Structure 1
Amino acid sequence: MTHILIVDDEPVILEVLTAYFEKEGWQVTTAATGHEALMRFQETVFDLIVLDLMLPDLSGESVNDTIRKDSDVPIIMLTAKTKEEELIAGIERGADDYIKKPFSPKEVVIRIKAQLRRRQKQAATVYSYQALTLNPSSYEAHLNGDALRLTPNEFELLALFIKHPGQVFSREALLEAIDDEGMIYEGYDRTIDTHIKNLRKKIEPDRKHPRYIQTVFGRGYKFGGTS
């Protein structure tokens, strides 16, 4: 059974989301503070976390950072922040999606299903390029034999690249590849740049001279090879 952790200090939000999630057949655990969320995270393996950024003790960003040290579990941030730079900052911290408050519970359910589908994709082929290997069926990636800890969006982008070396992808095309419902990030295609920057930190020996993900000015990005 899919197990979801909801972190929010508003009882009404916890109650409403719990009702909607349980209607989907999902198991739900709730936490009203950052410390409680981290305690629940240490106790249980969750399939996804819905995380409010405005908590009474720790900030949601701090909770996210602590979780990301040990896990690539999908994280959807709930935020009242509306500035693009603030939303991009959440992606830079490894969040997989964000939803602005006020929101529709049905929208949250759709976003969660999109993230869960990504996790459930199966493929028999193991892809490799130079020192990188990617196994979609086990959701594992390695660089020089060492395991890479990638967020779901980073994994999906790397999978797309490694399957099509040399092909140039626009930001819009890359956004579509990680947005099953056509609604994530609400058109902020520049968030792709943030995902690429985070991915480069994890796979590039020299980020100033990328070996794998190359910028094609005015067009987008390509993965090694030639276009």
Structure 2
Amino acid sequence: MTIVIIEDEPAIADTLVHILEMDGFDVHWFTTAGAGCEYLQQHPADLLILDVGLPDGNGFDVCKQLRQYSAIPIIFLTARSDEIDRVVGLEIGADDYVTKPFSPREMLARVKLRLKKLHPPLTSVATEQAPKWQAKNFDYYYKGAALGLTALEFKLLDALITHTPRVLSRAQLLDATQAPSDCGYERNIDSHIKAIRVKMKRYDCAESLKTKRGFGYYFEDIA
């Protein structure tokens, strides 16, 4: 599982990275809100540890921004222990709040608890009864397994599945991403579709995402 840390204090970040990597997590550390948010917009992650006081912004504002397109679990990390700060953090969408100094073992336990709630174990009966394709937490799941889509990839696949079996042009898919028409994304639609197929191929369902030559793409559940 992937964990992102946005924390500008190297000593604290090093401690977090060490204990999380020792437990088998894939950890990515950023010292600024801008760099961390840019990564999260382009890569799937399972949990975010977010400092409230950052050199280029406020963690509360970052949380509000992320909640516009992502349901990733967020644990605030801050030296501010006032009750009002904890309440505000939780009200705007954070899942937990840890004050500095903190116990690395306690933080690890909190991380595991949030991930356990996000990915509860599936029984064989539940797996069999679950829909083949499910959209949740801004990702698509095939037979209970997450594809690990980026925010843009999720919007593309969601548009295709929602409009099954209609063929969508590249311009229509660009509209589905809500990206500005002059940002150059339309010519990159093919690359994003290819990336989605690579992720679908891991579960032998890539054939469901089809190309209509000269027109665009469509979704057909044949897997």
Q: TM-score, normalised by structure 2?
A: 0.55
Aligned to 1:67: 66
The aligned counterpart of 1:4 is 3
Instruction: For 1:103, give the aligned amino acid.
Output: F
Q: State the identity %.
A: 37
* Residue type at the aligned position of 2:109: I
The one-letter code of the counterpart of 2:33 is G
State the 1:5 CA deviation: 0.1
User: Where does residue 192 of structure 1 map in the other structure?
Assistant: none
One-letter amino acid of the counterpart of residue 24, structure 1: D
1:41 aligns with 2:51: no
Total equivalences in the alignment: 132
Distance 1:70 1:26 in 2: 24
The 3-state SS of whatever aligns with 2:57 is coil
Q: 1:139/1:43 Cα in 2 relative to 1: closer, same or farther (>3 Å)? A: closer
1:118 matched to which residue of 2?
Answer: 117
CA deviation map 1:89-111 (0-9, x unaligned)? 00011000000111011111000
Q: Deviations over 1:101-144 (max 9, x none)?
A: 1101111100000001112213639xxxxxxxxx9xx6859xxx
Give the distance between the partners of 1:140 and 1:38, measured in 2 at CA.
20
Question: Any residues of structure 2 matched to 1:29-178 within 5 Å, and which?
Answer: 29-121=28-120, 122=122, 124=126, 140=136
1:40-66 per-residue CA deviation (whole Å, 9 max, x = no partner) reads 111211000000001011111111111
CA distance in 2, matches of 1:23, 1:91: 29
* Pair 1:82–1:27, CA change in 2 (3 A): same
* Cα distance in structure 2, aligned partners of 1:62 and 1:85: 16
Task: Return the alpha-carbon distance in structure 2 between the equivalents of residues 69 and 48 of structure 1.
Answer: 16
Where structure 1 has 5 or more consecutive residues not aligned to the other structure, the ranges are 126-134, 142-227
Amino acid at match of 1:22: E
Amino acid at match of 2:80: K
2:16 corresponds to which residue? 17
Residues 1:139 and 1:88: Cα distance change in structure 2 (over 3 Å): farther
Whose radius of gyration is greater, 1 or 2? 2
2:207 match: none
- Once the 2 structures are TM-superposed, how far is the Cα of residue 10 of structure 1 from its aligned partner? 0.4
Unaligned 5+ runs, structure 2: 138-223
Flag the 1:106–1:139 CA change in 2: closer, same or farther, 3 A: farther
Distance 2:52 2:22 in 1: 25
CA drift of 1:23 comes to 0.4
Runs (4+) of structure 1 exceeding 4 A deviation are 138-141
* AA partner of residue 5 (structure 2): I
In the alignment, residue 104 of structure 1 is paired with which amino acid?
A: S
3-state SS in 2 of match to 1:66 = helix
State the match for 2:27 in structure 1: 28
Q: Deviations over 1:147-205 (max 9, x none)?
A: xxxxxxxxxxxxxxxxxxxxxxxxxxxxxxxxxxxxxxxxxxxxxxxxxxxxxxxxxxx
Q: Which amino acid in the other structure matches residue 120 of structure 1?
A: H
